[in-house]
Structure formats: structure tokens, C-alpha cells
A and B are shown apart, each in its own frame.
Chain A
Amino acid sequence: MRILFFLTFCLTSFCLSAQDNTVFKMSRQILYELEYQRDSNDLSSKKKEVMELLANDSLSLFQTLKKGQWDSVILKNKGNPSFSPYRTDFEDSEYPLDYKIFKFPNRTLVADSYNLFALDYQYYKTTDDFDWEIFPDTLLVAEKYIVQKACLMYGGRRWTAWFCPSIPLSDGPYIFSGLPGLIFNLHDESNSWIFTLLAMKPTDREVEVDMEKFQNLIPKSEFFRSRADFILNQSLIWKAQGMVTIPDPEQFQKAVAADKEKAKRVNYCIEIFTLSPLC
């Protein structure tokens, strides 16, 4: 509980510090429902989250809807001295869906974080060239949209996508894109990750991107490795950083053991990355 109070205190002081940001005006908001399995060992531990794909003709951004709403609030209150923001999107999310995925015409960049106290994102580049195999299977969705099946082996999982050729947006959830139509449904073979299109509607939302951050990319493998290290040793790292204080050694040992247990239990790996000890 003490940790929670401390976290809340820290988070209330979180605010934007980036300079020279570029603002993109988005024209479409595409909402997906993400159903994912939180506990690797328990098929029934499924949780749902609404994700948004904001897009214009030159950029799309994929993130949780909560995060998008939070960023909009920040942007609208920029320069308002009485606005004291604190993040709410972490509150019930044991699983870190904290990423922002930016798809530019020639590259896909991910801003991701895992340490609440680091308060900043790490940036890495990921693939944007997918070798989709399309199949003749089709089905009708909402009595109107004919979607077609495509499959892909990526990140240690076999993914199945249903895309809609009549909506010429070569985009989709997470990092996926490259099909000749918007992805309506995407799931892996074990159904641990299922993205389902809920709606697409026009928007005039603005998105602020700190382009300078994209100059300092780290390798994707490094991010996955350091995230694994952090998750396995969270309490130790926070203690070393002086971010938390647990005077009772017995309680501290319990916290360390709990980190290992959580690492085993929580399903972190949408991409099964061989370098990460978690996957």
C-alpha cells in the first residue's frame, strides 16, 4: 500500500517536458478491442482493453484508448498553469500496454516503457515488411464488409488476419500492416491475443510527436532484454534507485519473490523474443 501511495505521489508530478514537438492532425480513429490472456498458465484469465489506431495519410499511431485520451488532455491544457495532470491509465493495468506505435510510410517506430519511475519512453525500430500469405477464405462482417483471410508467421506466433479490401487502408492493430485493406480481426493461433475491429470514424484529434526522440533509437532486442531484467528484479532495481523504501527485510524478500512469481505468471510476450528470458 505504501508503494501505491508513493507511486501516486510521483505520478501526480509527471508532466510533459519535451520541446520542439511536431503536431499531426489525424483524420480517422479506428477502435479495436484487444482480448488478451494475462496469465500464461490460465486460459480463463482473459482481459479486454480498447485500443485506438489514429491515422492520417502519412502517419498512424496505435495505442490504448486511455493513453490517447490522456495525451489529448495534456495537449489541450498545454500552457495552463493550473492544470496538474496525473496519469490514470496505469491504474488497473498490471500488463504494460504502454506502447505507442508510429507507422510512417517507410518505417515503424515504437515508443515503449516498463518502469513507472523512468517516466520516459525508449524508442526502437521494428519491422514494417510483412510476408503475408493470403487465402481465398472470405466472410461477411456486419452484413456489409467482405473480409479475406491472410496469415503470417511473426514473432514466434502464427497470426491470422481478416482484412477488408474495400477499405484501402493498409493498416491494422499493433505493428501489423501491409495488407491491401484494413485489418478487421487479428489473432494468434492460441488465441492469446485477439484484436477485433469495433468501429472506424472521422476525427480531428491532434497528436504531438517529439521527432527528436526518434534520433536516439535503441535496438529492439535491447529493449526486450532490459524489460525482462526489470520485470524479474523490479523491487531490487527500485530499491537501488532509491524509488521505494521497504525497511522490513522480510517484506522486501517477499517483494523480490513476488517479482519472480509475477514474471512467471504474467504473459508479457505478444512477440516471443528469443533473447528475452520471459518468453
Chain B
Amino acid sequence: MLRFLITGFLLFDTLVGFSQAVISGRLTDSGKKPIPSVSVSYKKIGATALSGFSRTDNDGQFKLSVKITDADSIQLDFNHLAYVKKSVVVPNKTASYTYTLTEGTRMLEEVKVDKMPVFRRKDTLDFNVSVFTSKQDRVIGDIIKKLPGIEMRGDQIFYQGKPIQKYMVNNLNLMEGRYGIINNNLPADAVKNVQVVENDQPIKILDSLVFSDRASLNLELKKFTTSGSGKIGIGMTPALWDINLTPMTFEKTFQMLNSFQSNNTGYDAARELRHFYTGGSFFSANEPMKDGPSYIYLQNVQSPGFDEKKWLDNRISLFSTNVLRKLKSGLELKGNVSYYDDSRQRSGFTSTRYFTSDETFVNTEGIDNRFRANVLDAGVLIEKNEKQIYLRNNLKYHKRWNSDRGDLLFNDDERIAQRRSYTDEAFMNELSMARFIGRQLVNIRSNIEWHNTPQRLGVIPGQLTDILNQGDPYDEMTQTVYYKGLRAINGLGFSRRIKHWIISPNIDVNYHNNSLETAISVKDEGQQKQLGEGYWNDVKTSQLQIALGSRFGFEKNKWKLSLSTPYSFFWYDVTQQGIESLSNTVKNTFNPSATATYLIDPNNQVSAHASAGRQFGGLDNFYDAYIISTYRNIQRYDNRLLASNSTNTGVRYSYANALKANFANVSYSYSRGKRDYIFRNRVDEMGRTTVSIDDHESSNYSHKLTGGVSRFFSTSKTVVKLNGNMAWSESDYLLNDFMDKQLVRSYGGDLVVNNNLSSIVSGEYKIEYENMLSEFGNGKNNRVVYTNHYLNISVFPADKHMIMVNNSYYGNNVSGYKDQFFLDATYRYRLEKWKTDIEFTAQNLLNNSRYVQQISTDYQLVQSYFDLRPRQFFISTRFRF
């Protein structure tokens, strides 16, 4: 009986669902004569797009089978050039009508059309590269940064304020997040369209199961090709070189990118290999392999926050090879090896003002540092991403050798030499698998990561005498650190769709095991002495986590909801210097989070998110004997886990109208944190700091409001982008036994206008403004204001010739220092036949030698100047493969 009822209900539902109205009728003129060839179309009331159409026959008759089933009424439009356009609203039911059209010849206005700049196909936005290309543009990155809705922060690409989750060429993801090297070297004229796929679910097996609110970027090439770019140049002074040979091949099932780069011109070629994917996938975090923790540093000078080519004193050589092969079975094999040798010199001067509750004191440091890093990365990735199966195994090897030295002049008086060595060797294997068993999607994941990270800091003469040598001066202090870490994450998950719900329970078993051995030795009059108890650590920590949780997704009509409920048990074991300080200590956490998205219409969407919970941390700080981190910082911590509670909420609105190439987004977020500890900072009059953990509750909160709008004006070929931000926050700090609050209020924004209308002149203007007020507990406050202007103008006086002038103006409110203006110029001659440019560049024409800036932290204000690259001339040839 029940089965009968269900069958009957389904049959009825099907019949209702698919019933279509047939609307017919006749059109006549005022004399009741039939009108043939009238276009008759129908659509939802107020909709832009037509849903169907027909045409009247010689008797003026028409007939429409209406496919709209979710509206009670529909709009009919009658169009004929010899009659006045008529629209009527009729019930969405089978019926027949007769209408009379009024005679009236319609004059068609003239139409003039440019190429379509942006168009949308479902969730895909296609940006026509040729529309956005100026004569001076060479690589695809030059175009992408101009596209409305897209913003570049350094080399990372953001769409509507969020980082893109994939960067593909012809739908293949060769570089796995290290897309900067393609973006900066693929010739723009090889690309037909830049496609942004909104709400892209990159894992095909999840396509109809798990929605995504992230965007991917795909470059659609004009043809399968071998392309890429190259540059060879020399300059002075000092002697400069810049070599970049980056050929790349994009075939249907094979892609390859090789790159050799070497320069001392201030360009950090290694940044092209930075991994930009964030957020991971549904199955795993897909995190890039990070270096093991560094406990020691050279005292450094803050680098300026502008174009590094103006200040980076470097010498780098880099090689990278990356291959992708897609097999007929759908399996993708990817391999990569990259290595670079990077030497840097950084010098400047820092004046640090410390605000304690009852006094303010100032220290100065003249800094001259030399860094050298050798980095090797290799990886093999196997991926099968299909509707019925998902398999991904990523094996990585990473090794970094750092050898740094720093010469420092403290308070114009004491010379201090620092030597730092740091090595990190790591393996990681990340496996994710998923397939359907019946209607149930089952996935397993396993991630194993291992690090071995020895490091050493030597300082001459020895510092921190009060703590390390009973107040007596001595020759040298040395800190050694041996860190080893193992992390294993294993999980099993299920996903199933039940009507509009997707339910995904999972269980994870995670294990972390770290060991930290440290020692401090002092040397005086040729005698090396390793300090005893309180100055060496032998810490072994292990953490076992069993996480049970479930994710719930709901998708219906215009709503998308998701809820995650992870509950975790932690077991901690710690031994310090052979003594068990934590034994099977159990903690548990519950960190629920939820998001809701409402699609107002295809262009507008709002979303809200909230999360709350408790976290335990501090295993990295579990050492109760001193570790020297810089020549004037030393710290040790109590044996305790650190608990913090946090609450985060936010709302977001985004608007993307491809029709008008208009984009906008605005978001607000609020976070509140409460900790059962506070870092106790103690600073002496020489700026020497000791840090420890106090059992004192502390709290912080912050409000952030960000937004942006961008638009392409096709008639004037102008892209305008405006971004703004506002934030206010409050946090507790404990300095020299006084607890206080720091309040920070900031607001700022930037405006970019890019014009390509004229074939003779094109230009880009950008203004950045930032205003930050920090108020400290003792009533002291500090306001930092930056206003930066950038104007880049390209002039094409004749065919093949280009002159480009780059102006940058940096204004700040630091008293006693002038605002700074930089001027660079480039002349380029194009050898069309060889697709090659000859470029002559003059950088820093005004020969500015120093840059001044200030930053503030919890309790200090740092003013620094930084030595810049001098005026330089450079001649180079750029070509494409």
C-alpha cells in the first residue's frame, strides 16, 4: 500500500513538474488584418533573458510551448519593425489570445560595437585578452592585473577579494600553486581568453555533492604551442646582469616549463616559485611544505613596503623544471625539481623607542647583514580526478641551507658580529582517495611530514651578560638548536546526499612528535663553556588527536548552508630534560563553524559565517630553559599548555555583473579571543628583551571592514579599481610588570585607474593611503600616515618605439624626513620580425639613497632607514620562444 502511494505521489509530482502551458494566439492590425512575421517571445516577468520564441505565420497565428514551470504569469513580447512594440502579461496556463498591434514604423538607431570584453557562460567569466592588452604589455600577468574583479597582491591573484584556488593553462594545473612563473613569463599574445570559473568545485567526484564558493582561473591559449619568454641584459653600476630563459610547452596531454634565471638587479626570482594555493580541498589541506621552525634570527632592518627592485641587493641563480603528462586513462603525472642559490645584503639603521608604563627609552642599531640561502625542492604527484574516482598522491622533498652573518653597531658604540646557520630537510607525502560505494562517497587521506632542522647562532662579543655570565663581559655566545618533527594525519570520511542535504561524517587520527635539543655556550679568553641547568633543553613532545566530526551541507534554490562540528580529544606527553612534565594529559575541544550563502540573483550574493571554540597550543614553546633568539632577545617558558578561546563572525556581500564588467565586494568581520596566559615582556634600558609566559588571562578583539569596486569602461578602455579597509582592535600586553591595552585604529585604501584608449599614450595611476593610530596604556600614542602615488605613462611616438616613465611618490608623516620621489624610465625598440624587444632602462634616476619608515608594535615604535639601490642603467633584450 505504502509503495503504491509513493509511486502514485511520484507520478503525480512528475506530471505536475513537467506540465507545460501552450499559449497560442493571433495578431492583427487595426484593420483586423493578420500580421505575419511578428517575433513573439516570452520570459519571466522582469527577466532579462527570453525563455522561448516563435513567429506569426501568414494568418498572424502563433503558438508557444512555455517551458517555465515555476511562475504563475509570464510576459509576452511582440516585435515587428512596422509596429509599435507590445508587451503583455498573461497567466502561465494554456490559453489563446488575440491582440492588435498599432502601426508605427520603428527607426533603428545606428549601432557601433567593439569586441566583447567580458562575457559569462554559467559560472565562467571570459575576459577577452585582446581588449585589455596595451602595446607595452608582454606577459599574461600584465593583463591579469588589469582585469576588473581581479586584484594582485604581489604575485598572488585574488578574485573578488578572495585568493583563487587554481591557476590552469588549457584546464591543466601544471604548477600546483606556484603559478607566478607562468604569470610572469607566458607571452600575453599566446592567450586568447582569461577565464574565471566562479563556484568551482575542482574535484569532479564532488561536483554534484559539495558546493564551492571559490574561483579558479584558466588561461585558454590560442593554440597548443611552445612559448615562453626570455631576457638577457647587462648594466651598471655596480656591474649588473639579468638572464631569464623560460620556455614552456602546452600540448593537449603534455605540458612542460623550464626556467633558468640569474640576476643581481633586485628581482627576487625565487618568488616565482612561491606556493599560493590556500584553503586546501574537501579531502585534505593540500598545504605547501613549510620550513621547519626557526628559533634564532639575525637582528634585521625592516624592509620597505614597496617595489623590491628599488631596494633588494641580491644575487640569485635559479633553475626549475616542471612536467605534466596526462595519460589516456585520465591519470595525470606531474614532476618538478627546482633549486636556487640566493645571496642578499641588507643594510640600514633602526631607532627603536620603547614605551613602558613609566618611561620611554631609545636604542639605535646600524645594521649590515648578508644572507645566503640554497634551496632544493623536488616533487612527484599522481592524480586521477574523474567523476567516479579521485586519487591524489603528492610526494615532496625539500632542503634549505642558510648561512647568514650580520655586523651591527649598537648605540653608535658597540660593534656586534652575528653568525647564523640554519638547515631544514623535510619529506612529505600526501595521499587522498575517494570513490563511490553504492551511493556513499568514501574517502581516505593520509599525510606524513618529517623535518630535521639544526640551527646555530653565534654572537661576538657575548651579550645578555646579566643572564649568561653574572654580569661580566665575555667574548662570544653560541646558541645551538636541534629540532626534529614528525606529523602524521590519517582520516576516513563518508559523504552522502539526501535530497538537498549532504552529510559528511569523518574520523581523523593525528599524531605529532617533536624533539627539541638546545644548548647555550659562552666563550671567554679562549675557554668554551657550555652553560648548565636552565640553559639547555631536551624536550620531547607528542600529541595524539582523535577527531570526530561531521560536515553538513544544504543547497536549495538560492540558499547554500554548511555546518561543521569537529570534536577532538587530545593526549599530550612531554618530557623535559628527562623528566615527564605532561603525562597522558587529556584535553578536548569543540570548534563548530557555519556559513550561509544566499544568491539574491545571478549578480548579487550575500554570505555570513561564524565559528567559535577552544584551542590548545604551546608545544613549540614548551621549554623552560633559555633560548637566545637574537643577540638581544632571550626567552623561556613555563611548562604548560596554552588555551585560547576564540569567536569569529562575519558577513560578506559580492556583486559581479559581467554584462557591465562591474565588480564589487564588501565584508565585515569581528573576532574576539580570550587566553589563559599572557606573554610577559621585560625590556631593559638597552632594549634587551626577555619573554616568559604568565598565568594571567588576556583578551583581544578586532573589527575589520574591507571592500572594493571595479569597473571596465569599454568606450574609454579604462579600468577603475577602488579598494578600502578599516579596522580597529584592542589587545592586552604585559611589559615590565605593567599590564595595559593597546588600541589600534586604521583606515586606508587604494585607487587604480588604467587607460588604454589611445594608441599613442597609455597610462596607469595608483594612489595608496593608510592612516594608523596606536594608543598605548600610558596615554602615549602614535599616528602613522602613508600616502603613495604611482604614475606610469607609456608613449608610442612611432611604430616599434616606446618610452615608459614610472613615477612613484612616497609620503609619510615621520618628522624630520622628506617625502620621497622615484623616477625610472625605459626606452623600448621592437624588432617585429624577431618578436624581440631591445630595452634601455634607467632606474632611480634621482639617485635616492635611503628610505625612511616607521612601524609600531605592542609597545614599541621603530623608525628605520634602509639603503636603496643606487641609480642604475641597464640594456637588455626581451624575446619570446
Contacts and interface: CB of A to CB of B under 8 A. Distances in A.
Interface of A: 28, 43-44, 57, 105, 134-143, 145-146, 148-149, 162, 165, 167-170, 178-181, 184-185, 196-202
Interface stretch (B119-127, B824-832, B861-869): B119-127
A-B pairs, top 3 by smallest CB distance, nearest first, are: A140-B659, A168-B79, A43-B223
Nearest to A27: B108
Contact of A180 (B39, B110, B114, B116): B39
Contacts of B579: none
A149 B713 CA distance: 23
A199 B113 CA distance: 6
A117 B698 CA distance: 95
Interface string B733-773: 00000000000000000000000000000000000000000
A140 B713 CA distance: 12
Instruction: Please indicate which of the listed interface residues B39, B108, B120 has the most CB atoms of chain A within 10 Å of its own CB.
Output: B108
Nearest to B49: A136
Contacts, number: 102
B39 A139 contact: no
Contacts of A135: 49
Given A43-B222, A44-B222, A168 B81 contact: yes
B37 A105 contact: yes
B223 A44 contact: yes
B855 interface: no
Given A138-B49, A143-B715, 8 more contacts: A43-B223, A137-B120, A139-B120, A140-B660, A178-B55, A180-B39, A180-B79, A181-B79
B85 A168 contact: yes
21 contacts: A28-B108, A43-B223, A57-B81, A134-B53, A136-B51, A141-B113, A141-B114, A142-B111, A142-B715, A143-B660, A146-B48, A167-B111, A168-B39, A168-B79, A168-B80, A168-B106, A179-B53, A181-B79, A196-B113, A200-B110, A200-B111
Contacts of B290: none
B49 A142 contact: no
Contact of A200 (B108, B120, B714): B108
Contacts of A196: 113, 115
Contacts of B104: none
Contacts of B39: 168, 170, 180-181
B113 A184 contact: yes
Interface residues of B, number: 40
Contacts of A178: 55
Contacts of A201: 110-111
Contacts of B41: 165, 180
Nearest to B79: A168
B659 A138 contact: yes
Contact of B659 (A139, A168, A184): A139
Contacts of B113: 141-142, 145, 184, 196-199
A165 B112 contact: no
Nearest to A30: B111
B539 interface: no
Decide if the interface of chain A is mainly helix, strand, loop or mixed: strand
A194 B79 CA distance: 27
Nearest to A197: B113
Nearest to B602: A136
B787 to A, nearest CB: 33
Nearest to A191: B192
B191 interface: no
Nearest to A132: B53
Interface string B521-539: 0000000000000000000
A137 B660 contact: no
A139 B222 contact: no
B444 interface: no
B586 interface: no
Nearest to A163: B50
Contacts of B77: 165
A28 B111 CA distance: 11
A139 B658 contact: yes
A169 B82 CA distance: 11
A181 B81 CA distance: 11
A134 B120 CA distance: 15
B238 interface: no
B414 to A, nearest CB: 67
A180 B108 CA distance: 15
Nearest to A170: B39
Contacts of B81: 57, 168-169
Contact of B111 (A145, A170, A179): A145
A21 B766 CA distance: 64
Contacts of B48: 138, 146, 148
A43 B226 CA distance: 14
Contact of B116 (A141, A165, A181): A141
Nearest to A137: B121
Interface string B71-82: 000000101111
Contact of B50 (A28, A134, A162, A170): A134
Given A137-B49, A138-B659, A180-B39, A57 B222 contact: no
Contacts of A168: 39, 79-81, 85, 106
A57 B715 contact: no
A230 B703 CA distance: 77
Q: Which of B80, B115, B713 has the most CB of A within 10 A?
A: B115
Question: In this complex, which of A137, A149, A162 has the most chain B Cβ atoms within 10 angstroms of its Cβ?
Answer: A137
Contacts of B114: 141-142
B67 to A, nearest CB: 10
B157 interface: no
Interface in B704-721: 713-715
Q: Which of B49, B115, B118, B660 has the most A CB atoms < 10 Å from its CB?
A: B49
A112 B306 CA distance: 64
A142 B50 CA distance: 20
Interface in B8-53: 36-37, 39-41, 48-53
Contacts of B40: 180
Contacts of A140: 659-660
Nearest to B83: A168
Contacts of B80: 168
Contacts of A141: 113-114, 116
Contacts of A200: 108, 110-111
B714 A142 contact: yes
Nearest to A148: B49
A139 B108 contact: no
Nearest to A179: B53
A185 B111 contact: no
A139 B112 contact: no
A43 B252 CA distance: 14
A146 B108 CA distance: 15
Contact of B112 (A44, A146, A162, A199): A199
A170 B55 CA distance: 10
A185 B116 contact: yes
A130 B578 CA distance: 85
B71 to A, nearest CB: 14
B118 A180 contact: no
Contacts of B50: 134, 148, 165, 180
A143 B716 CA distance: 11
Contacts of A43: 222-223
A234 B79 CA distance: 48
Nearest to B40: A180
Contacts of B116: 139, 141, 162, 185
Contacts of B85: 168
A167 B85 CA distance: 11
A205 to B, nearest CB: 15
B118 A139 contact: yes
B692 to A, nearest CB: 62
A142 B715 CA distance: 7
Nearest to B662: A140
Nearest to B109: A200
B120 A142 contact: no
Which residue among A136, A137, A139, A169 has the maximum number of chain B CB atoms within 10 Å of its CB? A139
A57 B111 CA distance: 18
Nearest to A199: B112
